[in-house]
Structure 1
Amino acid sequence: MSVRAETPARTARLRRFSRAERWVHRTTAALMGVCVVTAAFLYLPQLAVLVGRRALVVRVHEYAGLALPVPVLLGLASRAFRADLRFLNRFGPHDRVWLGAALRRDRRPAARPAGKFNAGQKIYAAWLAGATLVMLGTGLLMWFTHLTPLIWRTSATFVHDWLALTMGVVLAGHIGMALADPEARRGLRTGTVSRDWADREHPLWRP
């Protein structure tokens, strides 16, 4: 009798992301993908020779970069999105425990307490937000060449190029981790996750 009573609860789906949050993530991911692909065609000689209209690729890259903050700004109209931004911006004692376990490569669920977002996700979100703003600023300095001295443009190009490479590596790691967790991907696709997954990966989360 006890097993039958627990089965519906254990198989229940929990609401993790609203439609607005999923839209923000997908749109931001698409724009970031355009930036990465066009940057690859602009900077890698093996790909650059395949492009017949380089100026068009430059324009697509520039406008996609300018549009990157737009989904987040529009998402601020969503109460659920604003609530998740507050969760991402708060670090607690359990986050230090999670980071310690991650550094020790301790994969036991009990050793990695997490709320709705774990410490790794919080650090990634903060880093990506800061990196995007730096990329936007340096990109504008490179675009409007007549407004700044040469030394500014040279420095902006150096920072932009190397940070772009770093972002590519970090994004590849992010995608790799997402591919290793089907339930997390399902949560971003449908908005819901299983209770078992939530209890295992985010035991402190109480939806």
Structure 2
Amino acid sequence: MSNENGLVRYSGSDRANHWIVALLFVLAALSGLALFHPSMYFLVGLFGGGSWARILHPFIGVAMFVLFVGIMFKFWHHNVLNANDRKWLGQIGDVLNGHHEKLPEVGRYNGGQKLAFWVMVVSMLLLTVSGFAFWRPYFSHYVPVDVNRVAALVHAFSAWVLILTIIVHVYAAIWVQGTIGAMRTGIVSRAWARKHHPGWFKEVTGGK
């Protein structure tokens, strides 16, 4: 889809969902880190104290997961890895050096974006399931103590994986000029699409 300003990459609802999930992620990460280690306990001040951080953290996490599910169902079929994506990932050196002419044709998303998407999906699922297992006072008493302990470890590991993935995601968005603008306005230039996502460019323009 195109308009006089360029190509429409994201709708208004897509962008709103993305930014709300991003905000909830920051709140969940900060409150979770505050409860994870004493050295980061000072972060509870952002939530009104330790009790409020503990109370709010799981509710923020559930809200984040529910909204992320909307993103997952809408975009999962754009993120199925194919042979070109595997080749793209194998040529990560050319990606980092900007040798676009050596890379296989990229569709709506490149191999790195697709890989990050699925890491986020798995991490979100593990965080949600493990979080429910030791969520006091609502669900933890239904779960054996040993399972609670394993769930806490899975929760912490999944959180760190998700945080690192989001850091890479944000860095890549800054690195590829125009990406953040796409999520801010929903529009990308034809030149940007032709350079970074030629397969998608051909799909939405018929190659014109």
Pick the TM interval, shorter chain.
Answer: 0.7 to 0.9
Paired AA for residue 192 in structure 1: I
Residue identity (%):
26
1:111 is matched with 102
1:202 is matched with 197
Q: Is the 8 A contact 1:141 1:156 kept in 2?
A: yes
* CA 108–75 in structure 1, closer or farther in 2 if over 3 Å, else same: closer
Paired AA for residue 67 in structure 1: A
Q: 1:193 aligns with which of 178, 188, 199?
A: 188
Q: Is the 8 A contact 1:20 1:75 kept in 2?
A: no
Q: Distance in 1 between matches of 2:162 and 2:70?
A: 23
Paired AA for residue 131 in structure 1: S
Q: Distance in 1 between matches of 2:89 and 2:108?
A: 15
Q: 1:57 aligns with which of 53, 59, 63?
A: 53
- Structure 2 unaligned runs (5+)? none
SS in 2 for 1:24: helix
CA deviation string 1:145-178 (max 9, x = no partner): 2101111001001111122122222211211122
Q: Pairwise mapping of residues 137-148 of structure 1 onto structure 2 (< 5 A)?
A: 137-143=129-135, 144-148=139-143
How many residues end up aligned between the 2 structures?
191
Shift of 1:15: 0.8
1:94 is matched with 84
2:166 is matched with 171
Does residue 159 of the first structure (1) align with residue 182 of the second (2)? no
Q: Distance in 2 between matches of 1:174 and 1:93?
A: 22
Q: Pairwise mapping of residues 120-135 of structure 1 onto structure 2 (< 5 A)?
A: 120-135=112-127
Shift of 1:70: 2.1
Q: Distance in 1 between matches of 2:36 and 2:70?
A: 31
Q: Is the 8 A contact 2:123 2:161 kept in 1?
A: no
SS in 2 for 1:14: strand
* Larger RCO (CA within 8 A; separation ≥ 6): 1
Q: Give the superposed CA RMSD.
A: 2.1
Q: Distance in 2 between matches of 1:122 and 1:155?
A: 29
Q: Distance in 1 between matches of 2:69 and 2:89?
A: 30
Q: Distance in 2 between matches of 1:116 and 1:172?
A: 21
